[in-house]
Amino acid sequence: MQPNTLLDAILDEAGISHAGLAAHVNQAGRRRGLALRYEHTAVARWLKGQRPRGQVPDLICEVLAGRLRRPVTLDDIGLGVPGEPATAHAGSLSGFVERATALWRSDEQQRPHVLGAPAVTGTPAVMPVWEWENPPEDVDVSRGGHLRVTEADIGTLRAARTHYEQMYRKTGGVATRTRIVGFLNAEAAPLLRGSYPDDTGRQLHRATGGLVAVAGICAYDSDAHGLAQRYFHQALRLAKASGDRGLGAYVIALLVNQSLFMREYRQAVAFAEAALRTAGRHITPALASDLYAMQAKAYAHLGDGGGALSCIRRAESAAGQIRPGTEPDETGYVQPGLVNVQVAEALLSLGELSAAREHAAAAVDTPAHDRGRVHRLAMLSTIELRQGNADKAVATAVQMAEQARGMESQRLRDRLRAVREYLVRCGSAGTADAAELIDGALRVPL
């Protein structure tokens, strides 16, 4: 059950409260001979994704149409009849834009039913990837609106993506998400609804897709996994509209990473295969190395040592082909040493501690952005503790805690807590001091 952001948006446009909508629906129902007793709590359930029964969806349309003085359809309020074909507008790219921007608005307003929505699994999780892989393609993405989109506008979106990605790496997703979502609402939404020919539209959808992907990363980093997944699915649809298969493969890599976190290991393997298969020659060495490395982690968790080692070899081979200056901006996260730390995690799951430490140490010895360095130090400290090298683990954990200070990231907090638990269980000299430093880093409010 997904939050109904379209209904949320149109209620806001109509200036009607939850209690007000319930009262008007009851009144409209009485005119049809229905005895309805809805309250604001029912509207809250509808916003969370529950479908009203019987004639109520039509009554909601009637109430809102009277309020807005224009026709309002079931698709406009996110209540198109399940199992029936969507209208041309609802299934079109313009319909997608309305649904996407409604989500951005609800996120910026911090609607609880959006922020707290769980991630979907099974078919709803797989369908966006399947739709990206398969026809039909978008033949023409031009649009006629009031605002003419220029090359300068697209350049602004690209620059914003770089800016917010760097902010995320420095301060974490919690602080960055509110800013990037505000930018999507204020700048990207009007452009998507604007006027542009096909070629400009493809550039616009690509630039917006890159921004939305970073918004998803920030939501993931904030522990809002359902919201993150919806942003990733949006970015994938925008990638398809842009015609850029490489961008789509990058977005799927983000879904692979989230699948690993959610322990959906078979899904992670399948998604990575889809990206590698469908994007083909459009996948750069950096992205291929990351996809293979994440596949290796998934196989390791599934207990498939052969599959993991095969993917490790492919990841290392692809990493050796990376050439600075030839990669798109989105794959800049695949910095030297990233594959090493991914491989270290896979080997750790397989119980290959010596090889895991070798890769983790190599990752730590390679320069990385602040956030990446915290993850690398956390992995090395964990492996050293598993090996029984408590003194080394403590020294590494101290570096990690100092590097993490000031970052607002739920994922980093998870890593810090995990290392702290290992240290406390170890109980060797210096572990108390290291644990106290970690506690200090954890005291940063989210």
Give the pLDDT score at 443. Answer: 72
Compute how many other C-beta atoms are within 10 angstroms of the C-beta atom of residue 405. Answer: 14
| Separation in Å, CA 228 to CA 9, 112, 293, 406 | 19, 14, 22, 23
Residue 58: give the domain boundaries.
Answer: 5-88
- Lowest mean pLDDT segment, chosen from 212-226, 295-309, 372-386, 402-416: 402-416
Task: Work out the average pLDDT over 37-45.
Answer: 92
Domain assignment present for residue 52? The answer is: yes
Based on its alpha-carbon atoms, the radius of gyration of the chain, rounded to whole angstroms, reads 24
* DSSP string computed for 313-335: HHHHHHHTT--TTSS-GGGGG--
Give the pLDDT score at 87. Answer: 37
Instruction: Provide φ and ψ at 58, rounded to 5°.
Output: -65, -35
Amino acid at 356: A
- Model confidence at 84: pLDDT above 60: no
Helix residue ranges, H only, 185-264 = 189-192, 198-221, 225-242, 245-261
Closest by CA position to 366, among listed 341, 333, 401: 341
- Model confidence at 301: pLDDT above 90: yes
Domain assignment present for residue 409? The answer is: no
Contact 293, 346 (CB under 8 A): yes
Domain count, the chain: 2
Last residue of a domain, one of 354, 369, 394: 354
Where residue 73 falls among pLDDT bands split at 50, 70, 90?
Answer: confident
Number of residues written out for the chain:
446
Domain assignment present for residue 46? The answer is: yes
Give the pLDDT score at 385. Answer: 87
User: Can you tell me the distance from the alpha carbon of 437 to that of 191, in angstroms, rounded to the nearest whole number?
Assistant: 46
Where residue 427 falls among pLDDT bands split at 50, 70, 90?
Answer: low
Torsion of Cα atoms, 95 then 101 then 105 then 108, to 10°: 150
Average pLDDT, the chain: 90
Where residue 444 falls among pLDDT bands split at 50, 70, 90?
Answer: low
Task: Work out the average pLDDT over 67-73.
Answer: 86
Domain assignment present for residue 198? The answer is: no
For residue range 236-260, list pLDDT tens digits in order: 999 999 999 999 999 999 999 999 9
Contact 88, 34 (CB under 8 A): no
For residue range 371-401, list pLDDT tens digits in order: 889 999 999 999 998 898 888 888 888 888 8
Domain assignment present for residue 202? The answer is: no
Report residue 199 CA to chain centroid gap: 27
- Model confidence at 407: pLDDT above 90: no
Compute how many other C-beta atoms are within 10 angstroms of the C-beta atom of residue 427. Answer: 9
Task: Work out the average pLDDT over 2-31.
Answer: 90
User: Can you tell me the distance from the alpha carbon of 406 to that of 386, in angstroms, rounded to the nearest whole number?
Assistant: 28
- Model confidence at 91: pLDDT above 70: no
Question: DSSP state, 72?
Answer: -
Give the pLDDT score at 239. Answer: 97
| Separation in Å, CA 285 to CA 87, 101, 204, 208 | 41, 33, 25, 24
Domain assignment present for residue 174? The answer is: no
- Model confidence at 446: pLDDT above 60: no
User: Residue 148 pairs with which residues in a beta bridge?
Assistant: 195
Give the pLDDT score at 81. Answer: 58
Domain assignment present for residue 29? The answer is: yes
- Model confidence at 83: pLDDT above 50: no
Neighbouring residues of 244: CB distance < 8 A, sequence distance ≥ 6? 202, 206, 209, 282
Neighbouring residues of 222: CB distance < 8 A, sequence distance ≥ 6? 173, 174, 177, 410, 446
Torsion of Cα atoms, 352 then 358 then 361 then 366, to 10°: -120
Neighbouring residues of 443: CB distance < 8 A, sequence distance ≥ 6? none
Give the pLDDT score at 230. Answer: 95
Q: What's the predicted TM-score (pTM) here?
A: 0.85
Last residue of a domain, one of 321, 354, 387: 354
Domain assignment present for residue 324? The answer is: yes
Q: Determine what percent of the chain is predicted with pLDDT higher than 90.
A: 66
- Model confidence at 284: pLDDT above 90: yes
Where residue 86 falls among pLDDT bands split at 50, 70, 90?
Answer: very low
Contact 212, 235 (CB under 8 A): yes
Give the pLDDT score at 341. Answer: 95
In a 3-state reduction of DSSP, which class is residue 195?
A: strand
Give the pLDDT score at 430. Answer: 65
Where residue 428 falls among pLDDT bands split at 50, 70, 90?
Answer: low
Last residue of a domain, one of 354, 372, 398: 354
